[in-house]
Amino acid sequence: MSSNNPYIPMPVEISNITNEVDTNDIKTFRLTFLNKEDEKKFKYLPGQFAELSIYGKGEAPIGIASSPTEKGYVEFTVQRAGTIVPGLVTAALHNMETGGKIGLRGPLGHPWPIEFLEKKNIVIVGGGFAFTTLRSLINYMLHPDNRSRFGRITVIYGARTPGLLLYKDELAAWGKREDIKTIITVDKGDETWTGREGFVPAVCKEVAPSPYNKVAVICGPPIMIKFTLPVFFDLGFYKENILTSLEMRMKCGIGKCGRCNVGYKYVCSDGPVFSLAELEELPRDF
Amino acid sequence: MLKKTTIDKLPDLAAHLMEQGTLLAPVQEAAGFNFQVIADAKQVDLNFHNTVLSPKAAFFPQMEDFVRYQTGKSILEAVPVELNLKPTFLFGVRPCDVKSFTIMDIHFSGTGLVDPYWQKRRQAATIFGYAFDLDQPAQAEEFYKTLGIGAADPDGSDVFMIRKGGDLLLKGVTLKGEKLLTQLSLLTAASADEEKYFEDYIIRGRDFKTRFTFLADKNIAKKLEDIFHDSDFWMKVSGACLSCGVCTFVCPNCYCFDICDETLFSQGIRRRVWDACMFTDFTLEASGHNPRTQVFQKLRQKIKHKYSYHVRKYGVISCVGCGRCTKHCPVNIDIFSIVEEAMKA
């Protein structure tokens, strides 16, 4: 956020664009700060988000996909929105090229509870496009400075097709490491796919992580969440130890504009990270 | 020390304040009274019951420009709009509306990140609270007594004013208010009798009759939480609602806003504008998902936000019982009755 005004974005430049999927509608934008002081002030942890700001179009709240251990830039994986309502900001962003300048407001919201995760075994479950802040968390935990702070890491990540998996190079790299167990699944493979097929909930059931000293961090489409949660209940996970990140329409991102209000919480400033126990206290209004 | 002037000399008092800064005061318009920036001291008119719109726009204008830019140009050329505020005198605010400012303070500047626009406008302002006329009955829609607010409560004002016949009695409530009054040379010292009248009036104001029901903040908050899923109740009370949002626009405590970009040719402005939870696209996400599409869900959100969520988050009901929402609702939805019904449900 610029100076002392949380509504004014700081300027950033798009230094790299990665086309993530074969449908060409999800890209990762690497942003570098144009003012060095802004970079110093932008201290974040995995799970937080920021408002991407394009004058003339508007702002969109997007989870931070890079890890704070990556220095000199911050990354956002953005889907071109607008099957029903045109997404002005995401469409404009997708039309931009390297060197383009946009605005950034953040970091916003609460991160994944890193201290709570320390010394625990972590099961990360992701579905489709909702893997961005989980990628941030994984890369953060895998960093040599941090790896010893966490126990075993298991990642279960699924997408509809192989072409829709995000961060393919990283997935492959994690697959070769000894200190992380990576299980990738697709709903339906293609002729080149040699990996696992099956829905995320079924894979979770098969993998059946023991709940002992474990935390499950789950992000995905509502349908995946709906069928995955009972699997973890049946395995004996505490509701306090199942974490997720909530989405609501947002504008200000700092708990003032009232838009993302659910019960007595503002998703932007009180979340977006919530435990299942916390979510059960809220009205089903999201 | 209590000061006084006469209603006849109101234009002189207004002129003095205008010399020192911006004066916002009630002015008669075609549809009723409203606060306006005073250009002519004779416009100030205290012969009103309450204004159509609440005075919240003094600190939270319907449109607040954040940034000006030119489309197609670099973000580096965008210019944030600076607030160069003169001292502001908000004159003639009824006690319930003054209370609304202190409730809004908790949200905008008392918790989390500070909203710089609200804070700067608040700091620049001196509030002249103005007691209701206790010799006239309260209007049918008003229920501020239910929320513990008296008709002549000076709390939250810098200067508090009570009318006594053709006289206007003024007392400094805060140091800022007291200092200002000593500078206004046209004011004279009030008598001991008038001092007594002033103090008695405040006490009488506490017993002033408006619609009343016993409402403990935490009880109503809990009750509304309990009946969240009682769709029959919410559908019944919202059956006539048009989702027009007028209740939120006249409300002194509704603070929801949108941030939008407006462009005309190459000129662009990013600004915030009032928004309302009563509008369908308020919660519409880019994916097409919308958690609140039905009218009953939206009215439930509005009422629960004020009487339940706000109590749990900030410890206070976000309503001051001014009755504007009921008065201006085109289909006569009455928030007081809904809260009463909810307590019985």
Query: Is any Cβ of chain A less than 8 angstroms from the Cβ of B230?
Result: no
Hey, what are A234's tokens?
């049946």
In angstroms, the CA B31 to CA B51 distance is 10
Our CA-based measurement puts residue B120 at a distance from the nearest CA of chain A, in whole angstroms, of: 12
User: If you count residue pairs, one on A and one on B, with CB atoms under 8 Å apart, how many are there?
Assistant: 125
- The secondary structure of A107-151 as a DSSP string is EESB---HHHHTTSEEEEEEETTTTHHHHHHHHHHHSTTTGGGS-
A2, A7, A262: best to mutate for the B interface, most B CBs within 10 A: A7
Q: How confident is the model at residue B122 (pLDDT cuts 50, 70, 90)?
A: very high
In angstroms, the CA A14 to CA A28 distance is 10
Q: How confident is the model at residue B344 (pLDDT cuts 50, 70, 90)?
A: confident
Options 2.60.40.180, 3.20.20.70, 3.40.50.300, 2.40.30.10; CATH of A10-107? 2.40.30.10
Within 10 angstroms of residue B2's Cβ, the number of other Cβ atoms is 21
Hey, what are B184's tokens?
């206004």
Residues facing residue A237 across a β-bridge: none
Identify the three-state secondary structure at position A27.
Answer: strand
- B318 secondary structure, DSSP code: S
pLDDT for the residue A89: 93
Residues contacting residue B296 through CB under 8 Å, at least 6 positions apart: B231, B234, B235, B237, B238, B241
Same domain (yes/no): B151, B89: yes
Same domain (yes/no): B147, B242: no
Nearest CA in chain B to A109: B112
Q: Which of B113, B270, B283 sits opposite A249 (nearest CB)?
A: B283
Residues facing residue A105 across a β-bridge: A51
In angstroms, the CA B43 to CA B38 distance is 7
Same domain (yes/no): B253, B196: no
Residue B211 Cα distances to B144, B205, B247, B335, B342, angstroms: 8, 14, 19, 12, 16
In angstroms, the CA A69 to CA B10 distance is 65
Query: Is any Cβ of chain A less than 8 angstroms from the Cβ of B264?
Result: no
Instruction: Choose between A230 and A55: higher pLDDT.
Output: A55
Query: Is any Cβ of chain A less than 8 angstroms from the Cβ of B226?
Result: no
What pTM does this model have?
A: 0.93
Residue B133 Cα distances to B95, B164, B204, angstroms: 11, 9, 11
Within 10 angstroms of residue A193's Cβ, the number of other Cβ atoms is 14
Is the CATH number 1.10.10.10 carried by domain A114-245? Answer: no
Residue B184 lies in a domain: yes
Residue B152 lies in a domain: yes
How many domains does the structure of chain B reveal?
2
- B241-300 pLDDT, tens digit per residue, is 999 999 999 999 999 999 999 999 999 999 999 999 999 899 988 888 889 999 999 999
Residue A4 Cα distances to A21, A241, B260, B293, angstroms: 38, 36, 20, 36
Residues contacting residue A25 through CB under 8 Å, at least 6 positions apart: A79, A80, A94
Query: Which residues on chain B are in Cβ contact (under 8 Å) with A8?
Result: 66-67, 80
Query: What mean pLDDT is predicted for residues A183-211?
Result: 91
Residue B212 lies in a domain: no
Identify the three-state secondary structure at position B86.
Answer: coil
Residue B69 lies in a domain: no
Residues facing residue B93 across a β-bridge: B129
Per the listing, tokens 């609702």 go with: B329
Same domain (yes/no): B189, B119: yes
Q: How confident is the model at residue B48 (pLDDT cuts 50, 70, 90)?
A: very high
Residues facing residue A10 across a β-bridge: A104
Domain boundary among B206, B233, B248: B206
Same domain (yes/no): B336, B294: yes
In angstroms, the CA B193 to CA B110 distance is 40
Identify the three-state secondary structure at position A90.
Answer: helix
Within 10 angstroms of residue A250's Cβ, the number of other Cβ atoms is 25
Q: Which of A249, A252, A269 sits opposite B284 (nearest CB)?
A: A249
In angstroms, the CA A140 to CA A147 distance is 8
Residues facing residue A76 across a β-bridge: A29, A64
In angstroms, the CA B145 to CA B207 distance is 8
Q: How confident is the model at residue A85 (pLDDT cuts 50, 70, 90)?
A: low
Using the beta-carbon criterion (under 8 Å), do A258 and B277 form an inter-chain contact? yes
Hey, what are A7's tokens?
């509504």
Q: How confident is the model at residue B81 (pLDDT cuts 50, 70, 90)?
A: very high
Contact status, residue B277 vs residue B299, Cβ threshold 8 Å: no
Is the Cα torsion angle B9, B14, B17, B19 positive or negative in sign? negative
Same domain (yes/no): B16, B145: yes
pLDDT for the residue A84: 63
Within 10 angstroms of residue B220's Cβ, the number of other Cβ atoms is 21
Q: Is pLDDT of A2 > 60? A: no
In angstroms, the CA B297 to CA B242 distance is 13
In angstroms, the CA B195 to CA B70 distance is 58
Using alpha carbons only, give the angle A134, A139, A140 rounded to the nearest 5 degrees: 95
Residue B202 lies in a domain: yes
- The secondary structure of B273-285 as a DSSP string is EE--TTSGGGG--
* Burial of residue A226 (number of CB atoms within 10 Å: 0-12, 13-18, 19+): exposed
pLDDT for the residue B101: 98
Compute the CA torsion angle B320, B323, B328, B329 (nearest 10 deg). Answer: 90
pLDDT for the residue B90: 98
- B289-337 pLDDT, tens digit per residue, is 889 999 999 999 999 999 999 999 999 999 999 999 999 999 999 999 9
Query: What mean pLDDT is predicted for residues A248-270?
Result: 93
Complex-level ipTM = 0.91
In angstroms, the CA B57 to CA B38 distance is 15
Using the beta-carbon criterion (under 8 Å), do A11 and B75 form an inter-chain contact? yes
- B233 secondary structure, DSSP code: H
In angstroms, the CA B318 to CA B303 distance is 10
Q: Are strands B267-274 and B257-264 parallel, antiparallel or unpaired?
A: antiparallel
Same domain (yes/no): B122, B144: yes
Q: Which domain holds residue B173?
A: 3-59+84-206
- A127-175 pLDDT, tens digit per residue, is 999 999 999 999 999 999 999 999 999 999 999 999 999 999 999 999 9
Q: Where are the domains of chain A?
A: 10-107, 114-245
Hey, what are A3's tokens?
């100076």
Our CA-based measurement puts residue A140 at a distance from the nearest CA of chain B, in whole angstroms, of: 27
In angstroms, the CA B54 to CA A138 distance is 50
Query: Which residues on chain A are in Cβ contact (under 8 Å) with B223?
Result: none
Same domain (yes/no): B249, B184: no
Domain boundary among B206, B227, B250: B206
Same domain (yes/no): B202, B338: no
- B129-166 pLDDT, tens digit per residue, is 999 999 999 999 999 999 999 999 999 999 999 999 99
Same domain (yes/no): B190, B242: no
Residue B148 lies in a domain: yes
Q: Which of A219-223, B27-31, B233-237 has the lowest mean pLDDT?
A: A219-223
Residue B163 lies in a domain: yes
Query: Which residues on chain A are in Cβ contact (under 8 Å) with B75?
Result: 9, 11, 55, 101-103
* Burial of residue A108 (number of CB atoms within 10 Å: 0-12, 13-18, 19+): buried
Same domain (yes/no): B308, B227: yes
B59, B83, B287: best to mutate for the A interface, most A CBs within 10 A: B287
Residues contacting residue A70 through CB under 8 Å, at least 6 positions apart: A139
Residue B74 lies in a domain: no
| Core vs surface per residue B303-320: b (16+ CB within 10 A) or e | bbbbbbbbbebeebbbbb
Same domain (yes/no): B173, B286: no
Q: What is the mean pLDDT of chain B?
A: 95
